[in-house]
Structure 1
Amino acid sequence: MFDNLWVEKYRPTKLDDIIMSSDNRSIIKKYETDREIPNLLFCGNPGTGKTTLAKVIVNSILECQYLYINASDENGIDTIRSKVTQFAQTRSFDGGIKVIILDECDGLSQDAQRALRNTMEEFAARTRFILTANYNHKIIPALQSRCQSIDLTPPLDSCMDRIDFILLGQGISIDSKQRNELKKFVKSNYPDLRRIINEVQKYTATGALKLSDNTSCNDIVKKVLALTLSGHVLKVRKFVIENEEKFNGDYNHLLSQLFDYIDKSNLTDTQKGMGLVIIAESMYRTAFVVDQEINFYSCMIQLSELKS
């Protein structure tokens, strides 16, 4: 059914297929042995397998009755009062525990999170909660303290192994030059494995893997920084918008690439330190701002002052 979508075709359906650290695997294996879980908070960057693991737990490990809610879409207190509470207060069909998955829980309003805290306590005897969050700092402390928090950032080597497995499954071989490009590409997009898989599929449309230095948007980063530090920051916005397709409009990823580039640059220690702080603050703001492109351009204007 999903043969044309690699990210779905190769989505794990059992625990052994999920990429995670050995420590995290030991924790989840314990849940599998006990067939019981505490309230869980899975955190990490987008594309690291938070939702996949949550569904594997309810479908494969616990085999229990569950409710799934995308909390970024249904993020108001009414969702907690109606759907969540109504599901939590009833017994399961088999008498076992039920699970409520609140995906992207960091999208819940503050009022909804406070209401959820009370629901988690009131129905703890029969209902467990699995929360996922890209930005766990947006989860109120009262919720975090009621969950066991697990960072699902996968090991880099395991991400590379998964891409090799997918390419082998698709019958796509790569030469040594392309393998080096692939390693750089995976590292530059790490830890977003979903993005990596989608992009690799795009670059194999002809039946062979064709990556280049431009694939990791290094040229864009170099050009942006050169314009910014040479007094031409007003040209940056037009250049970046014209090249959005090369980085898929992912401004947070572009900021991350820029952070690494400045960190390895020949700027003075003072300039480098100031620049990294400016970029880090802009990356933090990506969790809140409405327009990512404006946030990025604001960052470039601040960086332009490094050479003043």
Structure 2
Amino acid sequence: MSEATDADAPARGREVWIEKYRPQRLEDVVGHEHITERLRSYIRRDDLPHLLFAGPAGVGKTTSAVAIAKEVYGEEWRENFLELNASDERGIDVVRDRIKSFARSSFGGFDYRIIFLDEADALTSDAQSALRRTMEQFSNNTRFVLSCNYSSQIIDPIQSRCAVFRFSPLGDEAVEETVREIADAEGIEVTDDGVEALVYAADGDMRKAINGLQAAAVLGGTVDEEAVYAITSTARPEEIREMVTLALDGEFTAARAKLDELLVDSGIAGDDIIDQLHRSVWEFGLDEREAVRVMERIGETDYRITAGANEQVQLEALLASLALGE
């Protein structure tokens, strides 16, 4: 890759780096070598089964699906690869109409086409049942690749027809390596603490790390810790630690003030604070009993916020419970 110059700087705001640096081959997908090697063996043997990719966002599920198509079909991959997002098209019609139409259409030179159904766990039960029948009907000339966040939301008849691959959050080393490679390719100066902040904010999500790097770089200057935390609306680990420590010490008013600072001044969403609390519990130096108590309260608060409760009220109630020792 050629090094970016000052003349290239305006283009940084127009080009989406998650697409520019998306791996084109399975061997370039980082952090899941045990999965990509098995997928490559299917392609080498020309024996690709239906696939189910399960895991959190930004870990390589879509990238792996597209890479499979590119390795199987080469330059003709777009004509033989249909990508649908089930969260946009949840009903049974998408299974009956678009998928069947693509599976039935004529094509030459290949034994099968690939249909990639992203966020398949958003499909209704009726749509999944229709999909199961469609998979059976067109198994001779179509391969399905399904991706989801939670495989438990996919009905058993579909899971049993697929080779299931579970993508875990990416390791810090893989995220750091990619961030440094992109920064070098774009000619961006990133400090070590800036890289650490990107890795922390991403929490195993490569897409979030790359988007954070691009957003910080567009502002100009060196990408450091301060720029990353500001652009990603992420609380510093020490801020989360201070808030919880104050509550555990019985200083509810001070802990509440810190929470208000994070929610109002820094603009951090309540569910993001819950995620950071969950990640940081074992870094607070608590004994096991206290850590278990904090984790239990975090879980209860997370459930209530997810169910639609007011996030500020619930987070303040969490701090009050910790301050009271309950």
TM bracket (short chain): 0.7 to 0.9
Q: For the pair shown, which has the larger CA radius of gyration, 1 or 2?
A: 2
Give 2:32's match in structure 1, choosing from 7, 13, 21.
21
Q: Deviations over 1:130-156 (max 9, x none)?
A: 111122222223322221111233343
Q: Is 1:9 aligned to residue 24 of structure 2? A: no
**Which amino acid is 2:206 matched to?**
L
Q: Is 1:158 aligned to residue 174 of structure 2? A: yes
**Which amino acid is 1:179 matched to?**
D
Structure 1 residues 214, 6: closer, same or farther in 2, change over 3 A? closer
**Which amino acid is 2:198 matched to?**
F
Q: How much has 1:158 moved relative to structure 2?
A: 2.0
Please give the alpha-carbon distance, in whole angstroms, between the structure 2 residues aligned to 1:121 and 1:17: 32
**Which residue in 1 is equivalent to 2:291?**
272
Q: Deviations over 1:7-27 (max 9, x none)?
A: 222122222322132211211
Structure 1 residues 75, 35: closer, same or farther in 2, change over 3 A? same
Please give the alpha-carbon distance, in whole angstroms, between the structure 1 residues aligned to 2:154 and 2:29: 25
Alignment of structure 1 residues 1-308 onto 2, 5 Å: 4-63=15-74, 64=77, 65-153=80-168, 154-174=170-190, 178-204=191-217, 205-212=219-226, 215=229, 216-217=234-235, 218-222=237-241, 224-225=243-244, 229=248, 230-232=251-253, 238-243=260-265, 245=267, 247=268, 249=269, 251-280=270-299, 289=306, 291=308, 294=310, 298=314, 301-302=317-318, 304-306=320-322, 307-308=325-326
**Which amino acid is 2:212 matched to?**
E
Q: How much has 1:277 moved relative to structure 2?
A: 3.4
> Greater CA deviation, 24-33 or 68-77?
24-33
Structure 1 residues 103, 238: closer, same or farther in 2, change over 3 A? same
For the residue of structure 2 that corresponds to 1:87, the secondary structure is helix
Uncovered stretches (5+) of structure 1, i.e. residues with no partner: none
Please give the alpha-carbon distance, in whole angstroms, between the structure 2 residues aligned to 1:75 and 1:117: 15
For the residue of structure 2 that corresponds to 1:40, the secondary structure is strand
Contact 1:262 1:272 in 2 (8 A): yes
Uncovered stretches (5+) of structure 2, i.e. residues with no partner: 1-10
Contact 1:32 1:62 in 2 (8 A): no
Aligned length: 299
Contact 1:44 1:152 in 2 (8 A): yes
Q: How much has 1:188 moved relative to structure 2?
A: 4.4
> Identical aligned pairs, as a percentage?
27
**Which amino acid is 1:262 matched to?**
V
Q: Deviations over 1:255-298 (max 9, x none)?
A: 23211322222444223113223434666788xx475x846853
| TM-score, structure 2 normalization | 0.78
Task: Supply the RMSD in Å over aligned alpha carbons.
Answer: 3.1
Q: How much has 1:162 moved relative to structure 2?
A: 0.9
